[in-house]
Amino acid sequence: MPTQNSNIKEIKKTKKFNQIYLLILIVAIIGGAVGGAVGAGIMNKRFSGVDTITGKKNITVEESSATIEAVEKISPSVVSIVSTQEVQDIFGSTSEQTGGGTGFIITSDGLVVTNKHVVENPRAEYRVFTQDGKNYKAKVKAKDPLNDLAVLEINGKNLPVADLGNSDDLKIGQRVIAIGNALGEFQNTVTTGVVSARERSLTATGAFGQTTEELQGLIQTDASINVGNSGGPLINLDGQVVGINTAVAASAENIGFAIPINDAKTAIDSVVKTGKIIRPMLGVRYFPLTRDLAKYNSLPVDYGAYLYSEGPGAPAIVPGGPAEKAGLRANDIIIAIDNQAIDDNHSLKRILQNYSPGDKVEITYLRNKKEQKTSLTLVEME
């Protein structure tokens, strides 16, 4: 039978155990509360775009925010261009024919860049509509003889100006945004995608299949470019213009093309300074060589610019031009200018865009399979 002293010991023992259990329970409750609060904080921060473990922003949230900010930055300078023309049918009835395109403002007093094919009709009247609801009568100030570019002029003051970026910095897979007057109806429509490729070449054709011009060095993107987007900006996530939307592949989905903004900068600078687009000229007629053309014509190289005549009224070498003065002849193949090879990524046309009339250049060419060099001074293209 237990003694009184042993009962007291058991009671003290039980009391001590209960105290320890209670202490553990309190610590567990406090620990759970703290852990829950910390966990909730981490989750909240992760969903808000910040990972407290890595210290990095959530990529999806970051890109979405950057896209919104880029669009907000560029949108005030993006304009819709509407053309109107009175046309008469065979019965003498007249109707108004309209067209649409896009552009962006490059000077606060009203110079607007767009595609040349957007304003190619000399009989049409053009109006520019800004994001704030205003509209202006526009006149075609300049057209680029080397590229699908044109500059319009409107009578404006303190207009928002687009920030021009550096298209040479673009990387394959980089996120880009296209903005334009989709279908000539939906102003400042935004689509997103990536840079799919660079240095693409294509023959641009109009709505009825007529050839408009050869385009080279283009940016390819999967950002949707619809009818009416022509002339609008392709921008990066900093809201800077890196390209000018110009064409789509008609037989495919989401294959669009833009002129790199760096190819347009010399034309833009020329208009701002002189009021027109001044381009240099060699004074030659040529076609770019390809492997098939070289093989078919038994030529020694499959790159370069082959100088050829189209007939008595269209000689390979323009009389009195720089090429004639430098001694170039029909059937010569220009393979480099200032040691820059002419190839698929660097056409003669694109290389010349980096020069101005009055610049002296060294021409490397082949004649009878022998490499030769000559120098000439570029003149202004008329």
**Which of the following is catalytic: 75, 80, 83, 117?**
117
Mean pLDDT of the 49-67 span: 61
Q: Is the pLDDT of residue 29 over 50?
A: no
C-alpha R_g of the chain: 33
Where among 258, 274, 290 does a domain terminate? 274
Mean pLDDT of the 232-259 span: 89
pLDDT band per the 50, 70, 90 thresholds, residue 57 = low
**Which of the following is catalytic: 77, 80, 230, 347?**
230
Is 251 a known active-site residue? no
Token output for 209? 């299949």
Q: What is the pLDDT of residue 7?
A: 43
| Inter-residue contact 150 to 122 (CB < 8 Å) | no
Per-residue pLDDT of 323-375, as tens digits, reads 999 999 999 999 999 999 998 778 898 899 889 899 999 999 999 999 999 99
Is 175 found in the same domain as 145?
no
| Model pTM score | 0.74
Is 321 found in the same domain as 356?
yes
Who wins on pLDDT, 349 or 32?
Answer: 349
Distance CA 347, CA 145 (A): 15
| Residue 138 maps to a domain | yes
How many domains, the chain? 4
Is 147 found in the same domain as 94?
yes
The residue among 83, 125, 73, 67 whose CA lies nearest residue 104 is 73
Who wins on pLDDT, 341 or 9?
Answer: 341
- 14 is in which domain, residue-wise? 4-57
| Residue 43 maps to a domain | yes
- Measured on CA atoms in the order 295, 299, 305, 309, is the torsion positive or negative? negative
| Residue 237 maps to a domain | yes
Is 117 a known active-site residue? yes
Distance CA 147, CA 303 (A): 21
**Which of the following is catalytic: 75, 144, 148, 222?**
148
Per-residue pLDDT of 102-146, as tens digits, reads 999 999 999 999 999 999 888 899 999 999 889 999 999 999 988
Who wins on pLDDT, 55 or 163?
Answer: 163
| Residue 159 maps to a domain | no
